[in-house]
Amino acid sequence: MKIGSVETVLKMLTFLPIEKINELCSLKDEKINEAKKIAAFEITKLIHGEEEANKALEASNALFNGEGSLENMPTVKIDNTNISILDAIIICKVAPSKGQARTLINQGGISLNDEKILDVNYVLSEKDFSKGYAILKKGKKVFYKLEK
């Protein structure tokens, strides 16, 4: 998102004071990500309420910064840790069919515990749940915590 886009989003979709928006929009390079985070929080707060926005922020910090709790991440309980990656994708509703799940894997769009899954026949095992859970990721923005 470009600086002009961030400014437009902040002005149109948040109730932040114009001084704060101008301050955020004056940030340069990778510091503009702070403005993007604030925009995401403010929009989530408007749509879902402050409590849900704080939960989303905490889950985001846990995923991307190693801080906070994964407690608020979308979680799916599974009965058996020895399931195929295709079944895990379907259970999490990341894809509606095994065909689309295969396509995601073949395009490199699925990761498990930050490891790209390239084999459509991959079967999850206990080692994938060494922390008591596994993180299934589609692309950069869709995450699910699989718990046994």
Residue spans of the domains in the chain: they are 3-72, 75-147
Which residues, in sequence order, are CB contacts of 52 under 8 Å at separation 6+? Answer: 44, 45
Q: Kindly report the CA angle at 138 between 136 and 144, in degrees rounded to 5?
A: 35
Q: Does residue 135 surpass a pLDDT of 90?
A: yes
pLDDT (0 to 100) of residue 71: 78
CB neighbour class for 104 (10 Å; exposed up to 12, middle 13-18, buried from 19) = buried
pLDDT (0 to 100) of residue 67: 65
Amino acid identity at 90:
I
Of 75, 10, 18, nearest to 46 by C-alpha is 10
CB neighbour class for 30 (10 Å; exposed up to 12, middle 13-18, buried from 19) = exposed
Across 101-115, average pLDDT: 96
pLDDT (0 to 100) of residue 66: 64
Could you give the percent of the chain with pLDDT greater than 90? 52
CATH 1.10.240.10 corresponds to the domain 3-72: yes
Of 54, 50, 44, 42, nearest to 15 by C-alpha is 42
Of 124, 113, 83, 89, nearest to 103 by C-alpha is 89
Q: What is the CATH number of domain 75-147?
A: 3.10.290.10
Q: Does residue 33 surpass a pLDDT of 90?
A: no
